[in-house]
Structure 1
Amino acid sequence: MEKAVDNSVRTFMDMMRVPVLFYRTIGEDIYAYRSTNPLKSLLLKIYLYAGFINFNLLVIGELVFFYKSLQDFETIRLAIAVAPCIGFSLVSDFKQAAMMTGKESLIMLLEDLEDMHPKTQQKQKAYKLLDFEKTMKRVINIFTFLCLAYTTTFSFYPAIKASVKFNFLGYDTFDRNFGFLIWFPFDATSNNLIYWITYWDIAHGAYLAGIAFLCADLLLVVVITQICMHFSYISRRLEEHPCKSDEDRENIEFLVGIIRYHDKCLKLCERVNDIYSFSILLNFLMASMQICFIAFQVTESTVEVIIIYCIFLMTSLVQVFLVCYYGDMLIAASLKVGDAAYNQKWFQCSKTYCSMLKLLILRSQKPASIRPPTLPPISLVTYMRVISMSYQFFALLRTTYSDN
């Protein structure tokens, strides 16, 4: 039996659905400027700021715990255990800060992409939108599952474990533990009321950090997917253009339109760099340390801790790979424009047309890319460098710890 073909017209908001919905669960409304309910927008903003104030107080508690644990060699393993969580929290904070400071640029970017989005079924077939959307959805589903699995496991495993022991295995006491190592200026386990209030407070902070971390990358995936789709469409249009020698005016009009289209796509890439470049730099630096500390925990802990940290390790590895994969895809799609232009039957066209085509080919030799400060353009080569750096840190940490 043949699988039914999806003939529905896909809107730009269909592509944006997942990051927009998840962002709203923490109070961040990307399209707040379109809202017709100012009270709802205000309440969401209050919820967002209150959540981040709470989250950053918890991060301060983690930093204090980390500092105190470093004072004694007997507790240094606790410092190593909390270090990846601190790194994850700081990256989440910085991603959200970058999004808020670059909100106007982000809105302009999304508006331009929505305006360029193919609106009819015929155009969407020409753009091969369903193929791009299919790949994008798979990537989004895998990364969303891993990111939420990490925050959920860390948040709720201690309570589930204590409940099973107390209610089903006959333990006399309920162990009041938390999933994250945080210093509090009060006894957070003194009684059930304080414990559960603190527990849910930490769980909300972890969820907020996970969503801020996740959605910034999901937005990047959606944006780069759209830009690559446009580059791919430009390449196909160039290759399929007949270049009839007796239609010079039509050829030049076609090429002028393609050049303007190509230039607009390149400008969109620059706007992506304006929004994401610094957060990606911090992300990669922190990822190297995170992977190192998580790997150390996996090699030095009990089975249950290993399972929890393996989920964290997979999330970190997939997240870095995700950014590098889409960076590599953007470079390949933009370079393909020059190849497609050369593969035309340009030798049948006028000198003016060939001169314009040469300029397009020259411009395409400098590919569109994601460029963090001080780093080369992001590609799969970058991923190998991050993994290599993480391993070097891990080897150094293992050697230092073993010697002591």
Structure 2
Amino acid sequence: MQLQNFMHYTDVGCRLVRMQRYEWRGRKGSRDEETPLQRLWFLFSAVNMIYQMLGMVIYLFLVDSWEEQPGGVVGQLSETCSIMGIMLFGISNMWMLVQHRSDIESILAELQQLYPRQTRQYRIDYYYEKSTRLMRYIAIYFTFACSYYNALPIIVLVYELLMESQHFRYKYQSNTWYPWQLLTNPDSLVSFMVAYLCQVVSSIMAVVFMTVSQFLLCVFVTQIQLHFDALASGFGALGAGQPGANDQLKALIAYHIRLLSITRKINRAFNFVILINFATSTIAICVMAYSMVMFNVFMACKYSVGLVAFLILTFFICYNGDQLTSASNQLLPAAFYNNWYEGDLNYRKMMLFFIMRSCETQELRAYKFMPVSMITYMAILKFSYQLFMFLRTMA
């Protein structure tokens, strides 16, 4: 079992968006060379996602009569803003993965140096199975959600054709304006197919960027958990009266300092995108729930999938933050219940400084605004429900 085994789902996501996998010293296997075609596809995907955001904003300004639209003003805003939330989160994750690539590879290199050579006191298999199972469930659900989201316009189109509907019209995934609609009929088959394919690409890329970012966070948190667990076990096995106890304690303290440094780097890389997720999730959960009760059964099913996706994604982030906090909280009792009173003066001083440092809980933060924990998750759900009830009252 190697560190690169934990990166399986992250590597698969990188291949899907034609982005080079993350490399570090000690990783086995040859590095894939990026071709011009891959760079071109990545650039097109990025521009396409950004345009989807811009196109939805333009659509909102070009609507002729809000009252004649399904759901009225609030309904149209809810329907459009819910998809904008997905695009915004996908774009922010893409920016983070590209902008902080060197930082991410630096963190992976440090984790590779700390990766245990002797696995006796490390529960590597347990943490590998735990993290892989979580990432596998997330990958399965988002594959289903993205497939359903992109298949729904075709399903609705076939249904209306079979029912010989008098109000037949082409309806793609989201309300987006495109430049070619100035030259051609927006309700033509060609315009529909081009817009449909653009939105298929943008939705797939947004979902993959979101999941790759969260899989990276899961890998980092799992590794820190593994090392905090081993550090707590090391303090439990340390005897203050044994020969060489001072040197062993110094090694454990140095180990702890490196873990704190890595945790700060992880926070710097992810804190902004976590904040974006919390902000967009709070609004998206509200507007998607509202859209579910405003439109027909097809739209309700569409937005229920998106609603569950944001619930799962936010839960995944908060769960990882909670796990990191719980792992760091093991260190204080492990050090305190060590037989430090049997050590010499230097040993007791070092143990005292370690206990003082361990009093500061290690946690993920949303750009210094709030800690990432299950308490935060419940606060987001509560505020989203309050917004939902406000929209229901205004409708």
TM-score, length-normalised on structure 1?
0.88
Q: Deviations over 1:153-182 (max 9, x none)?
A: 12111113434664xx47499853212221
Pairing 1:312-331 to 2, within 5 Å after superposition? 312-331=306-325
**Alpha-carbon distance change, 236 to 267 in structure 1, aligned in 2, over 3 angstroms:** same
Structure 1 contact 146–311 (Cα < 8 Å) conserved: no
**How many corresponding residue pairs?**
383
For residues 39 and 255 of structure 2, the distance between their equivalents in structure 1, rounded to whole angstroms, comes to 37
- AA in 2 matched with 1:132: Y
1:311 equivalent to 2:305? Answer yes
For residues 136 and 72 of structure 1, the distance between their equivalents in structure 2, rounded to whole angstroms, comes to 47
- AA in 1 matched with 2:259: C
For residues 298 and 323 of structure 2, the distance between their equivalents in structure 1, rounded to whole angstroms, comes to 37
Where in structure 2 are there 5+ consecutive unaligned residues?
Answer: none
2:212 aligns with: 215
Q: 2:336 aligns with which of 330, 336, 342?
A: 342
Q: Deviations over 1:364-402 (max 9, x none)?
A: 11111112235232111111111111111111111111x
- AA in 1 matched with 2:192: Y
1:224 equivalent to 2:221? Answer yes
Shift of 1:37: 5.3
Pairing 1:153-172 to 2, within 5 Å after superposition? 153-163=148-158, 166=161, 169=162, 171=164
2:132 aligns with: 137
Structure 1 contact 29–44 (Cα < 8 Å) conserved: no
Quote the sequence identity (%).
20
1:285 aligns with: 279
Structure 1 contact 146–314 (Cα < 8 Å) conserved: no
**Alpha-carbon distance change, 150 to 82 in structure 1, aligned in 2, over 3 angstroms:** farther
Q: 2:202 aligns with which of 201, 205, 208?
A: 205
Structure 2 contact 231–256 (Cα < 8 Å) conserved: yes
Pairing 1:40-189 to 2, within 5 Å after superposition? 40-69=34-63, 72-75=66-69, 76=73, 77-119=75-117, 123-163=118-158, 166=161, 169=162, 171=164, 176-185=170-179, 186=181, 187=184
Where in structure 1 are there 5+ consecutive unaligned residues?
Answer: 1-9
Q: 1:295 aligns with which of 289, 293, 306?
A: 289
Q: 1:397 aligns with which of 374, 391, 394?
A: 391
Structure 2 contact 288–306 (Cα < 8 Å) conserved: yes
Structure 2 contact 156–298 (Cα < 8 Å) conserved: no
Shift of 1:201: 2.1
**Deviating more after overlay: 316-325 vs 40-49:** 40-49
For residues 318 and 330 of structure 1, the distance between their equivalents in structure 2, rounded to whole angstroms, comes to 18
TM-score, length-normalised on structure 2?
0.90
**Alpha-carbon distance change, 374 to 51 in structure 1, aligned in 2, over 3 angstroms:** same
**Alpha-carbon distance change, 36 to 376 in structure 1, aligned in 2, over 3 angstroms:** closer
Structure 1 contact 84–290 (Cα < 8 Å) conserved: yes
**Alpha-carbon distance change, 81 to 11 in structure 1, aligned in 2, over 3 angstroms:** same
**Alpha-carbon distance change, 271 to 399 in structure 1, aligned in 2, over 3 angstroms:** same
Q: Deviations over 1:295-335 (max 9, x none)?
A: 11122232222222111111111111111111111111112
For residues 346 and 223 of structure 1, the distance between their equivalents in structure 2, rounded to whole angstroms, comes to 32
Classify the secondary structure of the residue corresponding to 2:121.
helix
